[in-house]
Structure 1
Amino acid sequence: MDEIHFETPIHIARQLCPDSNKCSKRSQEDHLESYSHPGIRDIRLLCSIPGHVMSRHYMNLLKKQENVVRAVQQHSRVRLIFLKYNNPVVKENVGKLIEILVEIEFAKTNTRGKTSADADSEHKISMMEKRLQSPIEGRDIEVIHEWTTKIARASIGLSIEKAGIGYSVDPILETDKHVFSILGPHLGHYYGDIVITFKQEIMFHPDANFTIQAGTSFFSGNIYRHRQWTRDSGSEAKRTEHFHHSKLHCSVPRYEYATTLELVASAGFEHQSMDVNLETILENWISVDSHQILEGHLPQLIPLDYVDRVYIPKNTFESLLPEAQQSAKGAFKDSLVITRLRQ
C-alpha cells in the first residue's frame, strides 16, 4: 500500500477473536472494539437512521422556526442533496424552500398565532420548485418536502410536549443542555418504563462529563449530608460553583482514581466502616436512590448509533401504534430488547 498513507492516518491493529464465528460477545461494543470478527467491519459505517436523543434545552430551541430550519438542513438526507448540487444559488433556493415549508407547518399548528398558512404559501412553493427543477432531480425535491415536513411536525410536537421532568434547577446548573444519564444501576422508577443504554465511547465526547452524585443534590445541599467530608457553603451560587468544579471527564488522566476514592468513602460512610471492597460498593449502589449514583451529563444531541440497547416492557411496546413499533424495530433492530410484562 501507499507509504504516505501509512504515515498520515492512524491504524489500530486488532487481534482476531479466538472464538471467531462462535463468539458469544459479538453484540458487546467493548469486545468488538478489542477484537476483529469475521463478517463484522472493524470500522463500521455510520448509522443510516437519522434520529437523535436530545436534551431538554435542545427541545426548547425547536419552538423557533429558524432552529427547525437548521435541523432540517443538518439532516443527513438533506445534506446529501446539498453536497450533490454544490452550487451557491441552488443551496440558497433549497434553503428558501425549506423555510417556506417549515413556516407552513408552524402556521398549521397556530404556533405563531396564525390559524392557517399564508394565502400565497403555495405560490411561493411553486415558484421555488420551478427555480429548482432545472438543476435538481424531481425525486430530490420530493425528499426535501418529505423530510422537512416530518422534521417540522416532530419538532413542533417535541416543543409542545417535551420529554423529561424539567426540574426548575436544571437551567441554573445548565444540566438541561445535556442528556441526563446514570453511570451504574438505575433503580429509580420515576423516569418511565423505557431504559436506554449508551455505548461507552460517548463518555469521551468533549461535551460529556459526570459527577459523583446528581447535580440537583449539590444545589439542594443533600450531597453534603451524604458526603460529610465536603463543606457546604450554604450559598446556592457557591453550591452551583462546587457542582461545576466537581465534574470529571473520562479523557482526563487518573479520573478513575478520583472516582474510586469517592465510591470507597461513600460506601464506608454508609456502613460506618473503612473495610470496603468492590462487593460493598455494589451493595451500596443498589440500596440508595438513583440521585446518589454517578450522574452522567451527555452531549445535547446524540446520534442513534451511540445507543447500545433499548429496553421496553412488552405491554408498553404493544401499546404503541403499529407504525411506531415498526419504526423502533427498524431503527434499533437487535438492540431493541422487549422484556416480559411488568407485574
Structure 2
Amino acid sequence: MDSTIYRPTCSKHDSCDQLNDETHMRVFFHRLPCKYDSQCEHIDDKEHCKTYSHPGFCIEKGYCKDMSELHLLKYRHVPLCNDGLSCSLLIKNDNSHCTTYRHSKNNCEFGLYCINFHNHEHIEDKNHPFNPSCPFTPYMCEFYDKFLENLDKNNSSISLNVETHCSRYSHICPYGRQCTDQLHKQNIKSTIHIIRFECPNKENCQLIDDENHLNSYSHPTICDIRLLCSYKKFDCPDHSNLEHIKQYRHSGHIEHIGVSGYLGLNKNINFVQNQNEMIRNIQTYLRSAKWDQTTITISDELKQWIRALQPTHRCNKLIFESILVHGHIMSRDHMNSLTKSDSVAKAAKHHTKIKRIFDKINNPSVKQTCEEYIKILVEIQFNKIGKTKTVSESLEDELLKSKLKLNRLHRYVTSEDVETIQALTIEIAEGSLQLHSSPTGIGFGFDQSLGTNKHVFGVLGPHTGYYYGDIILVFRHELMYHPDSNFSIQAATTFGQSKNAYKFRPWLTDPGSPETRIEHFHRNKLHCSIPGYEDAAAYELMALTGLPKKSLTNIDLKAIQQRWLNIDSHCVFEAHLPQLIPLDYIDHIYIAKTTFDSLST
C-alpha cells in the first residue's frame, strides 16, 4: 500500500493491542513513541504530536511524590508549586490546588556529584540519589576508614557495625574523578562522588608531601581520600616517604598538638563593634579629607591574602634555645614568673615529655613524689646558680631520699623516666635562670599597662623587625583563632606616650589621656574568628597605603605589599598571641645556617 495514501488513526491510539497484526498496521496509522518520553520539549506541539506519542499524566496528579528519573520519564505531571512543601494550601489540604499543582522536592541538579551534602537546608529541599551523608565524611568517619581498609579483603573481615553504618549512610568516594564504578546501583546509594580540581602539575607535582594539597586536588594514581595511617603524623616512621604518603593520609585530628591555655585576655573586648567602628571611622575620614574616592572597594584577592596571613615571631639565639628547652614560646609576663623556683617547677612539670610520664602514673602518691622530686631539683639549681652558689646538705638529703623513693616505685616510674625527669628539669631550671639576663621582646614598660605583656608578640604576616632577632618562627594560622589571640593594625605602643597611632592613622581621634588611649587601643583590635574581620583590616591597609597622596587610585594588593616591606614592623599588623604556645604550633622556622650550626647541642 502506498505510504502517501491517507490512513485513519487507530481508535485505540497508544493503547493499541494489535501492533503485531500486519493487516491492522497497514490499514491504520500509529504514532511513533517519542524518544524523549514525558521530557519532550515539544510535548504540547500539535504537529509534533500527530507523529509522536507521549506518556499520559500520572494518576496521582498533584499528590505524586515520586521524583525518580524513571517515573518522571514514564508519566507527565502537573506543574510544581512555587512554594513547594511549605505551601499554605498544601498544608490546608486544598484539593483544587493540590490536584492542579505538584508539591514535592526537586531533584538536585548535581545529583550524585552534589557538594552540598553537609548543607542541611539543601538536603531537605532537594532530592538526591544517595543515602543521607555521614556527618563525619570525608575524613573523620572511623567506620568508613575500616571499610576502606578491608575493601580488597574478604567481606567477612568487615564487622557488622561497619557494614550497617556504610549501608545506611553515604560517604565521599575515595577515588573521586578516577572512580570507574560511579553508575553502579549500590555505589550510587552509598557514595557521593566529588569531582575535585585536578592538580595542574599532575604527575610532576612537587607538593606530594603536603597533606592540605593532597586533600584539595586530584592527582593521577593517588586516591582523593587516602587510607588512614595507623600512626600519628609525627610518630609515623614513613612520614617522609612519598610512596607511603601517596597511599596514606595523616589527618590533623589524630595529630598530637599541644594545648595553649586560656586566660580570658579578650573577655572584655567587643570585636564586632571594633571592626564596624574602624570601617566607619575611615569612611568618615575619606569624605571629610576629600580624597579622590570616598568609597573603598575591596578585591577578593586582598581578602584572600589577609585570610592567609600567618603569625610570625622573631627572636635571637638565646631566646630560641630557651624556647626549645621549655617546649613553649613564652610571653614576657610568663618569663618574669620564672624567677621563682615554684613557677619553674610548674613549667618543668608541664614539659611535653614529663607530662607524658605523669599521664602514665595512676597513683596520686607517686605523682606527688615526682612533683616533690622536681621541686627539689629546681631548688638545687637555683641555689647553685643563685647568689649563694651553694646547696645545703638538707636539700641534698631530700633529693636523695626522693630519688630512692622513686626507684622503689619502679612499677609506676621506670629508671629511664626518673632520668628523663631529672635531665629535663635541670635543663629547664638552668634555661630559666639564663633567660632572666635577656628576656624576649623589646620590653616597653607601656606593655604592662596595655596588658600585652601577657601575650606573645608577633606580626600577622611578613616580619621585617630585624632588631628582635634573626630567627623567624612562623606559626600555624589556626593560632589566630585562639580565644586569647587578637591583632591590631599597628603596634600597641603607638597608643602610648608618642601618640603615633593618631599621627599614622589620622582617622583616629586622640581621646586625651593615657587611660583613655589604652581603652582606645583595645577598641582597635580584631579577631580572625569574627566574620568580616578581613574587611576592616583591608580598609585600614588601603587607607594607610593611599594616605601619602590621599588617593585610592592604584591601591591594590601589590601596592599594599610593597608598603608593608618598606616600613618598620611596628607599623604593620601586630599579633597578640596566647601566653604559652606549644612547639606544635610552629609551622616553619627560618634560621641562618651559621646560627643553626652555633646552637647548643
Shorter-chain TM-score above 0.5: yes
Single out whichever of 32-41 and 222-231 deviates more from structure 2.
32-41
The equivalences for 1:80-95 within 5 A come to 80-95=356-371
Structure 1 match to 2:251: 42
Whole-Å Cα distance in 2 between the matches of residues 122 and 21 of structure 1?
64
The Cα offsets for residues 102-132 of structure 1, whole Å up to 9 and x where unpaired, read as 100000011xx43301112221122112322
CA displacement at 1:26 relative to structure 2: 5.0
Is this contact kept in 2: 1:193–1:312, CA < 8 A? Answer: yes
Q: Normalising by structure 2, report the TM-score.
A: 0.49
Q: Residue in 2 aligned with 1:117?
A: 391
- Which gives a bigger RCO, structure 1 or 2 (Cα 8 Å, sep 6+)? 1
2:562 to 283, 288, 292: 283
Q: Which residue of 1 aligns with 2:107?
A: none
Q: Is the 8 A contact 1:17 1:23 kept in 2?
A: no
Quote how far apart the aligned CAs of 1:198 are: 1.5
Q: Is the 8 A contact 1:196 1:310 kept in 2?
A: yes
CA distance in 2 between counterparts of 1:29 and 1:273 reads 42
Alpha-carbon distance change, 30 to 250 in structure 1, aligned in 2, over 3 angstroms: farther
Output the CA distance in 1 between the equivalents of 2:417 and 2:328.
23
What is the CA–CA distance in structure 2 between the aligned matches of 1:214 and 1:25, rounded to whole Å? 36
1:52 and 1:22 map into 2 onto residues whose CA distance is 38
Q: Alpha carbons of 1:240 and 1:33: their partners in 2 closer, same or farther (altered >3 Å)? A: farther
- 1:69 corresponds in structure 2 to 345
Structure-2 change in CA distance of 1:285 and 1:33 (3 Å): farther
SS at structure 1 position matched to 2:574? strand
Q: Which has the larger radius of gyration?
A: 2
The answer to whether 1:185 aligns with 2:465 is no
Q: Is the 8 A contact 1:214 1:294 kept in 2?
A: yes
Equivalent position to 2:205, from 23, 27, 42 = 23
Q: Distance in 1 between matches of 2:330 and 2:211?
A: 22
Identity level (%): 41
Q: How far 1:245 sits from its partner (Å)?
A: 1.5
Aligned ranges 1:317-332 → 2 under 5 Å = 317-318=596-597, 320-321=598-599, 323-324=600-601
1:204 deviates by 0.9
User: 2:502 and 2:596 mapped to 1: Cα distance?
Assistant: 40
Q: Deviations over 1:312-338 (max 9, x none)?
A: 2233334x14x44xxxxxxxxxxxxxx
Tell me the TM-score normalised to structure 1 length: 0.82
Residues of 1 paired with 2:487 and 2:440: CA distance?
21
Match runs of 1:258-337 below 5 Å:
258-275=536-553, 276-318=555-597, 320-321=598-599, 323-324=600-601
Unaligned runs of at least 5 residues, structure 2: 1-133, 142-171, 177-195, 218-224, 226-244, 259-323
Aligned counterpart, 1:339: none
Q: Encode CA deviations 1:284-325: one digit per residue, 9 max, x unaligned.
A: 22232211111111112111121122222233334x14x44x
Looking at structure 2, the residues matched to 83 and 188 of structure 1 have their Cα atoms a distance apart, in angstroms, of 40
Question: Amino acid of the residue matched to residue 77 of structure 1?
Answer: K
Residue equivalent to 2:433: 156
Distance change (3 Å), C-alpha of 1:264 and 1:54: same
**DSSP-derived class of the 1:160 partner:** coil
Structure 2 residue 140 is the aligned partner of structure 1 residue 11 = yes
Give the residue type in structure 1 aligned to 2:362: N
Give 1:133's aligned residue: 407
Equivalent position SS for 1:190: helix
The 1-side partners of 2:452 and 2:483 are apart by: 15
**Quick one: which amino acid aligns to residue 309 of structure 1?**
H
Letter in 2 for 1:119: E
- Distance change (3 Å), C-alpha of 1:179 and 1:29: farther
Match in the other structure for 1:335? none
**How many residue pairs align between the two structures?**
315
Separation (CA, whole Å) in 2 of partners of 1:33 and 1:201:
18
Alignment root-mean-square deviation, CA = 2.8
Q: How big is the shift at 1:17?
A: 8.3
